[in-house]
Amino acid sequence: MDPSFKWKKFTVRAGYSAKTVMYVMLGAFILTSVFTVLSREKASQSHVFLTLKQQPLGQIFLSVLVLGLACYAFWRWLQIFITDKAHDDSMLVHVINKLFFFISGAFYFVAAYAGAKTLLEVKSSSSSQESGKKVSEFLMQYEWGLLLVAVIGFCIIIFAMVQFKHAYTADFLKKFSLPSLSHRVSKSVKVTGRLGYTARGVVYSLVGSFFILAALLSNPSQAGGLQKALETLMKQPFGPYLIAAVGAGFIMFGLYCALEAKYRKVE
Mind listing the pLDDT tens digit for each residue in 76-104? Answer: 888 888 777 666 667 777 787 788 888 88
Instruction: Compute the distance between CA of residue 223 and CA of residue 103 in angstroms, rounded to an integer.
Output: 20
- The total of other beta-carbon atoms located within 10 Å of residue 95's CB is 12
Closest CA to 202 of 175, 241, 151: 241
Phi, psi of 217, rounded to the nearest 5 degrees = -95, 0
On average, the pLDDT of the chain sits at 81
Tens digit of each residue's pLDDT (9 = 90 or more) over 124-165: 544 545 555 555 655 556 556 677 878 888 888 988 998 999
